Amino acid sequence: MVNPLPIERIRSFAEKVDRLIVVEELDPVIETQLRAAGIRVDGGKDLFGLCGELSQNKIRRALGMEAPESTGFGETVPPRPPTLCPGCPHRGAFFTLQKLGVTVCGDIGCYTLGALPPLGAIDTTVCMGASISALHGFNTVRGIESAQKAVAVIGDSTFMHSGITGLIDIVYNKGISTVIILDNSITGMTGHQDNPTTGRTIKGEPAPSISLEKLCEAIGVKRVRVCDPYALDEFKSVVEEELAASEPSVIIARRPCILLPQVKTAPPLHVDPDKCKSCKQCMKIGCPAISFADKKSYIDPTLCVGCDLCRQLCKFGAILDKEGK
Ligand code: SF4
Ligand code: SF4
């Protein structure tokens, strides 16, 4: 534990050793606390420096020990960029936005991965809450023409943290912007922390749950829609309708993070190779469970959670559930 440090345990440990050396990356967080508590520290940042990652060899060399030569791979390892999980609720939303060709002002969370290929849907990401204020800025400068071709996307947790102020600005300044709140019912990227919408405190105790739709209505947004980003056709229609509106609108794309323990997944889907026409449409959603080899798509049953997005995209009925439908 870096904070609070178990100072007394470390003090009693320090009394039993000849030298106490603190090995920590970047700033001297632990070292400073130990020195402030009067614990003798014989080495720390003076040995390891403030920058970079500490490898075993770096530590050995800093301590005056021999370090073996590093070995590398003989051939180039293919890059593996981060990607949304199989069954992630955000995938359907980004596939739809990319298909519509709209400008997307993004924000900080798992959903920032919507910027990467093949989804490639996000155009800007600056800092927490910047999606809504950036969109408001674009639309204020460029008017209705921009407003009907641009959206902001922000997660439920980020919206509660710092997105709401931008939405207030849109209403107050008589803006016309479409904001999509990707409500996955948790703070996904940083490890499933609760937030004011989940009904639990950060320590998991029961707490009041703030309703996103009531909050947006209370701010003054008259057009608040709730829809499921797994339902691709419906989600697309809702986005098109709200982009066409000449007043502020909020779309709450609601579907919990697939990794939440209470979420029940469906049995894996599979591809019928005889029906697969190799069109690669199902590859466009960037699902890690789908691969393509020998001119056919393949769904890895150990990764697929049966979200059904790929099945909605296959025009040839080649993607089937366990009943063969
Ligand atoms: S943790 Fe949840 S929200 Fe984040 S990428 Fe995975 S499924 Fe999506
Ligand atoms: S969308 Fe259907 S036909 Fe096209 S590659 Fe995927 S499984 Fe095959």
Asked if 240 contacts 173 with a C-beta cutoff of 8 angstroms, the reply is no
CATH code of the domain occupying 270-320: 3.30.70.20
Q: State the DSSP code for 161.
A: I
> Which residue ranges make up each domain of the chain?
7-62, 90-254, 270-320
- Out of 3.40.50.970, 3.40.50.1700, 3.40.720.10, 3.40.50.1100, the CATH code matching 90-254 is 3.40.50.970
Separation of CA 305 and ligand 2 centre (Å): 18
What is the per-residue pLDDT for 3?
79
Asked if 175 contacts 139 with a C-beta cutoff of 8 angstroms, the reply is yes
Place of tokens 């005889």: 274
What is the per-residue pLDDT for 170?
97
Which of 91, 184, 255, 304 best tests ligand 1's pocket when mutated (most atoms within 8 Å of CB)? Answer: 184
Residue pLDDT, tens place only, 244-262: 999 999 999 999 999 999 9
The per-residue pLDDT of the chain, averaged, comes to 95
Residue pLDDT, tens place only, 280-309: 999 999 999 999 999 999 999 999 999 999
Helix axes 7-14, 29-36, angle to 10 degrees: 80
Residue pLDDT, tens place only, 49-68: 999 999 999 999 999 999 99
Separation of CA 83 and ligand 1 centre (Å): 9
What is the per-residue pLDDT for 117?
93
Q: How large is the average pLDDT for residues 218-223?
A: 98
Place of tokens 């600005």: 169
Pocket, ligand 1, Cβ cutoff 6 A = 84-85, 88, 90, 110, 184, 188, 257-259
Q: Is it the case that residue 110 has pLDDT exceeding 90?
A: yes
Hey, what are 32's tokens?
A: 């400073």
Q: Which of 119, 129, 126 is nearest to 97 (CA)?
A: 119
Which of 298, 300, 316 best tests ligand 2's pocket when mutated (most atoms within 8 Å of CB)? Answer: 316
pTM of the model: 0.82
What is the per-residue pLDDT for 8?
96
Q: Is it the case that residue 25 has pLDDT exceeding 90?
A: yes
Please, what sign has the CA dihedral across residues 229, 232, 233, 238?
positive
- Residue 151 β-bridge partners: 104, 178
Hey, what are 264's tokens?
A: 């029940």
Residue pLDDT, tens place only, 150-185: 999 999 999 999 999 999 999 999 999 999 999 999
Start-to-end CA distance of the chain, whole Å, equals 51
Hey, what are 305's tokens?
A: 């959670």
What is the per-residue pLDDT for 216?
98
What is the per-residue pLDDT for 271?
98
